[in-house]
Amino acid sequence: MDSLFTAAVAGLSAGGAYAILGVCAIFTYRLVAVVNFTGAAIGAAGTFAMVALFELGMPLLLAVLFGVAAGALAGLAIGLVMTTWFAGSNASTKAAVTAALLVGIIAVGLRLTGGQHPHYFPEIIPGSAFRLAGVEVTWAAVTTLVLSVAFTLLTEQFLARTRTGLQLRALSQRPMAAELIGIRVRLLALGVWAVTGGVTAFALMIIAPLRSPDFASLSLLVVPALAAALIGAFSSFRAALIGGVMIGLLEGSVSAIGPVSQYRGAVPFLVILAVLLWSQRGARWDEAR
């Protein structure tokens, strides 16, 4: 039982990062109407930029800042593609485009980062914060959790209380009507892509030392991100926050259960399946009648 608890606590860092990624996924979906499969890949680009600069001898803090900026730029690049050629497309076309872009980014990312060539991922927030029932809770876990809660609350307040937030909400509801009243639709959309790119990059930097250190593995963290977003029904930031943390805890717990520990990576898929089945229960009931 103790080992299960220890493993669950070990999943807190990942849970916090999943929560941030999930909130970013909802942010992108709600404001620019894109189910974004490239979210984690954008973050991976920023993370590897940080690693490359660190390996070249740049101080860690500076490398992190450049990495976040690289993530924002990568997000901006994807945003440019989406707003230039797919602004008028429907949601499924946009999702398909980001899925295709994900494949392309992974291919290019693996090539540029040397495939499976090992890189040293520095712990940007090292050390133990406190002990919880005898279990060490790291600063990385505390930081990702605090960051995920802060990002969720700030996002909600920003959308509710600022003029730019109001414009973003208008943009998300009726893009053309928003443009017809003079809202700078493209600029705001690009801002959303850049912000989510930068935030995702920072979240991945924190948990990268705990994951397989290759570009593809980090990029595929889009799966738990979308699972968290799905728990929030691509609408509720808070539900995605809780969902992301729960997925992290569940993953951590599963890793302590011997026979199934090697399948811990399947947890987000199971969560997605469970949420989809749950969301369809009304339709099944209607059909049965």
User: How many Å apart are CA 236 and CA 19, to the nearest integer?
Assistant: 12
173 binds another protein (CB under 8 A): yes
> Could you tell me which residues come within 8 angstroms of residue 213 by beta carbon, excluding any fewer than 6 positions away?
118, 119, 121
103 binds another protein (CB under 8 A): no
List the one residue out of 237, 176, 226, 187 whose CA is nearest residue 27: 237
Q: Considering beta carbons, is residue 235 or 261 the nearer one to another protein?
A: 235
- Considering only 93, 108, 157, 174, the residue that binds another protein (CB under 8 A) is 174
Structure tokens at 228: 């968290």
184 binds another protein (CB under 8 A): yes
Query: How many amino acids of this chain bind another protein (CB under 8 A)?
Result: 17
- Considering only 145, 185, 206, 240, the residue that binds another protein (CB under 8 A) is 185
Q: Which stretch binds another protein (CB under 8 A): 55-63, 148-156, 163-171, 272-280?
A: 163-171
CA distances from 173 to 8, 54, 177, 195, 287 (A): 39, 42, 9, 20, 31
Q: How far is the CB of 33 from another protein (least distance, A)?
A: 14
80 binds another protein (CB under 8 A): no
Q: How far is the CB of 187 from another protein (least distance, A)?
A: 9
Q: Considering beta carbons, is residue 11 or 175 the nearer one to another protein?
A: 175
Q: How far is the CB of 115 from another protein (least distance, A)?
A: 43
Q: Considering beta carbons, is residue 167 or 200 the nearer one to another protein?
A: 167
166 binds another protein (CB under 8 A): yes
Axis crossing angle, helix 139-161 with helix 185-207, rounded to the nearest 10:
170
Q: How far is the CB of 168 from another protein (least distance, A)?
A: 10
182 binds another protein (CB under 8 A): yes
Q: Which H helix or E strand runs over 67?
A: helix 60-85
167 binds another protein (CB under 8 A): yes
User: How many Å apart are CA 21 and CA 40, to the nearest integer?
Assistant: 7
Q: Which H helix or E strand runs over 137?
A: strand 135-138
> Could you tell me which residues come within 8 angstroms of residue 183 by beta carbon, excluding any fewer than 6 positions away?
167, 170, 171
List the one residue out of 224, 230, 193 whose CA is nearest residue 207: 224
Q: Considering beta carbons, is residue 103 or 187 the nearer one to another protein?
A: 187
Helix and strand tally (H, E) in the chain?
Answer: 14, 2
User: How many Å apart are CA 144 and CA 241, to the nearest integer?
Assistant: 11
Q: Considering beta carbons, is residue 162 or 262 the nearer one to another protein?
A: 162
List the one residue out of 36, 47, 91, 41 whose CA is nearest residue 70: 47
Q: How far is the CB of 178 from another protein (least distance, A)?
A: 8
Q: Considering beta carbons, is residue 62 or 176 the nearer one to another protein?
A: 176
Q: How far is the CB of 192 from another protein (least distance, A)?
A: 16
183 binds another protein (CB under 8 A): yes
Q: Considering beta carbons, is residue 58 or 87 the nearer one to another protein?
A: 87
- Contacting positions for another protein (CB under 8 A): 163, 166-167, 169-170, 173-174, 176-185
